[in-house]
Amino acid sequence: MTLEIDRIYCGDCLDLMREMPDKSVDTIITDPPFFLPAEHYQSRRDWGGRRFSDTSALRVFWETVITEAVRVLKPNGHLFVFCNCDSYPVFYVPMYDRFHKTKSIVWDKTRPGLGHIFRHQHELIIWGRYAHSVYLDDHKLRTDVLKFPATPSRERDHPVEKPEALLMELIAPTTPLGGVVFDPFAGSGTTLSAAKKLGRHYIGAELDPAWHRVAERKVNVANEQVRLFDDEVLA
């Protein structure tokens, strides 16, 4: 298989990654399926009268994914994984075992979600990097709390779509111009669109054909916006 950049593949990300060369992408940013809503309520173990979610299926799945992800990531690259408090332990430990440094970033959505008390207002981003990972100095102070309003549900193309500005904030200091951003769970393609607008290449994988079509439309719009901007600059 000849791997093409600036393309979204429709299919299983594991099948795609197994065909990708070693050390071929600069940054991986992804929001993997947690599996936990069903697991959390339907598959529980009883330990001494207390009930715990059975995350075994997710653990096996993530071990397989991260093994391939680390293989295709360059030795100076970065991996960002979105997760919630339930899935955090499953994603964090394998990353801690594989990267020189593993850090938790809080995405503050700036307004509370649904609930009654201590309402949910954040998501976690696990950041894995190596000792020689690339950093681009744009003279911008960043902390481990990123405040970006969540995309209103009426404006989302995907139920768990992230704001493009947040994804740009992750890409800009970690991926060189012309570098490759890979999202193995592309969803509606927001990460790939953000990469294109920042002058980076992208590769995406999306299993669901319907979401794959949505992602392709979004990235096509980004490609056209970049083309028009380039034409104006050259005019």
Domain boundaries, the chain: 7-234
Higher pLDDT, 133 or 154: 133
Strand 122-129 versus strand 73-83 pairing type: antiparallel
Mean pLDDT value across the chain: 87
* pLDDT tens column, 43-91: 444 444 444 456 778 888 899 999 999 999 999 999 999 998 888 999 9
pLDDT in tens, 89-133: 999 999 999 999 999 999 999 999 877 788 889 999 999 999 989
- CATH assignment of 7-234, given 3.40.50.150, 3.30.420.40, 3.90.1150.10, 3.20.20.70? 3.40.50.150
Among candidates 201, 194, 189, 79, which has minimal Cα distance to 133? 79
pLDDT score of 154: 81
Angstrom distance (rounded) from CA 211 to CA 13: 14
Q: Per-residue pLDDT for 30 more than 70?
A: yes
pLDDT of residue 46: 46
The pLDDT value recorded for residue 232 is: 67
Over residues 19-29, the mean pLDDT reads: 96
**Is the predicted pLDDT of residue 6 greater than 70, yes or no?**
yes
- pLDDT exceeding 90 applies to what percent of the chain? 66
Mean pLDDT of all residues in 169-180: 96
Q: How many residues are present in the chain?
A: 235
What pLDDT, on a 0 to 100 scale, did the predictor assign at position 146?
97
DSSP summary character for residue 32: -
DSSP per residue, 109-178:
-SS--S-SSS---EEEEEEEE-TT------S----SEEE-PPPPGGG-SSTTPPPHHHHHHHHTTTS-TT
